[in-house]
Amino acid sequence: MHKVFLGGTCNESKWRNELIPLLKVDYFNPVVDDWTPDCQAEEYRQKKICDIHLYVITPKMTGVFSIAEIIDSSNKNPEGTVFMILPEDDGLTYDEGQRRSLEAVSNMARANGATGSFVSIEALADYLNSLC
């Protein structure tokens, strides 16, 4: 049985709220109200336990660590790396430069063997559920 690490954009993005009710696989959601060193330690522990690492990137992303995680994961565990770039989040979209940069990241991750290019959260959930 697979377990999915739900990585990617936080910043009050609702993509996890949409995805979780659709999942039939076990998962770990790293989002908590109060991020502490214990939470960070649990996240690292769960990354070792979870054989599928999902990264969903949305325009609400403000840092770049999730991008580094996608590439790192696609190098170390290409068959277990899944990602999705959402073009819109709560009315926010990417500018042209961000869009082109994210396309390059997507191409790099796919070239490493990661799975991406989902057209909807539902399609992503169907794929993850198919891994059971």
Mean pLDDT, the chain, whole residue set? 95
pLDDT in tens, 38-48: 999 999 999 99
Q: Does the pLDDT of residue 1 top 90, yes or no?
A: no
* Pair of tokens at residue 27: 């998962």
Q: How many CA atoms lie within 13 A of 90 on its CB side?
A: 12
CB atoms within 10 A of CB 31: 16
Q: What is the Cα–Cα distance from 75 to 72, expressed in whole angstroms?
A: 5
Q: What is the pLDDT of residues 63-88, one digit of tens each?
A: 999 999 999 999 999 999 999 999 99
Domains of the chain: 3-130 (3.40.50)
Cα–Cα distance, 101 to 109 (Å, whole number): 12
Cα distance between residue 123 and residue 93, in whole Å: 20
The pTM (predicted TM-score) of the whole model is 0.95
